[in-house]
Structure 1
């Protein structure tokens, strides 16, 4: 087989492998969206700081909870960018860098999926708490829908964790029994 024939045979595999770089712009877009979250965080923080003296305790709590919600979103974005880039595009060559997050070494798709769902559950719980702190301005229907949506996310998260646990190899420390 000539070099040309061998190169032509490997061309589809090379194109498929190179296509992973089409994900890189998406991760760059997520970094830009992180800047939007950061801008919104500081806008809310300064607004909360300037109006805290005239707000009720519940209004301040809701304001602080919205800051927590934004920080959870920021964590999610960073986690998806780092792990997605590492798992699907290319390694980030900073292995000996003391600032490299330790979780980057062992986060896979399953971990990201569970962390993402856990963060969504936490965010919906915060939003639900915000509704309950200001319950007089919401209808019963709005509250029921918010509870229902939150419960769907909780159920989905539990089911994903259960599926991951059931599909993971057993790690009891014992060697598997030999097959007959």
Structure 2
């Protein structure tokens, strides 16, 4: 009786991972919304490209890169999160399957996440520096400080993972 109860409980707990699937579907929806925003920015940029200053053009391109990085981050979180916590994604023999799929564990996902956040933060900082004359120096200081917190957090997370790595493994 006790073993049967234990098996039922463990089965229920194991199957509860499927409660995460709607979260990943929501992130797929967010990726679609991000695509709409990317296209909106691109369509807004295209007709004015010939009359834009070089700095304004660079700022617009940085905005597109920023949205692209956010999209990449969503894909990494969707694929890795689903495969790590819900179920393996069966892509058959598709040659388009990204090499990293199935190989990014929670630690790798965490590092990819912080690296993407640092990149996005860096792009926002670069955009701010492009218009540094118009920026409040206190706000700029906060932006640099927050960016450095992200950078230091990334380095510390990588260092902690390295400390946790078993001797002789080559991550």
Question: 1:153 and 2:139 equivalent?
Answer: no
Number of residue equivalences:
170
Distance 2:159 2:106 in 1: 15
C-alpha distance in 1 between matches for 2:152 and 2:169: 27
User: Normalised by the size of structure 2, how large is the TM-score?
Assistant: 0.94
Query: Which structure: larger Rg?
Result: 1
- Residues of 1 paired with 2:76 and 2:11: CA distance? 28
Residue 101 of structure 1 aligns with which residue? 98
Please tell me whether residue 168 in structure 1 is matched to residue 155 in structure 2.
Answer: no
1:89 CA drift (Å) = 0.4
Alignment of 1:5-16 (within 5 A): 6-16=3-13
Q: Secondary structure at the match of 1:34?
A: helix
Q: Kindly indicate whether residue 115 of structure 2 is the aligned counterpart of residue 118 of structure 1.
A: yes
Aligned to 1:20: 17
Once the two structures are superposed, what CA deviation does each residue of 1:58-91 show, in whole Å capped at 9, x if it has no partner? 1110100111111111011001101111110011
Determine the C-alpha separation between the residues in 1 that align with 2:92 and 2:84.
15
Deviation at 1:9, TM superposition (A): 2.9
- Structure 1 residue ranges without an equivalent (≥5): 174-180
Return 5+ residue gaps in structure 2 as ranges. Answer: none
Shift in Å, 1:95: 4.6
Matching residue within 132, 139, 143 for 1:142: 139
CA deviation after TM superposition for structure 1 residue 8, in Å: 2.7
Moved over 6 A (4+): none
| 1:91 aligned onto 2:76 | no
Match of 2:56 among 56, 59, 62: 59
The Cα of 1:102 is off from its aligned counterpart by: 1.2
> What is the CA RMSD across the aligned residues, in angstroms?
1.5
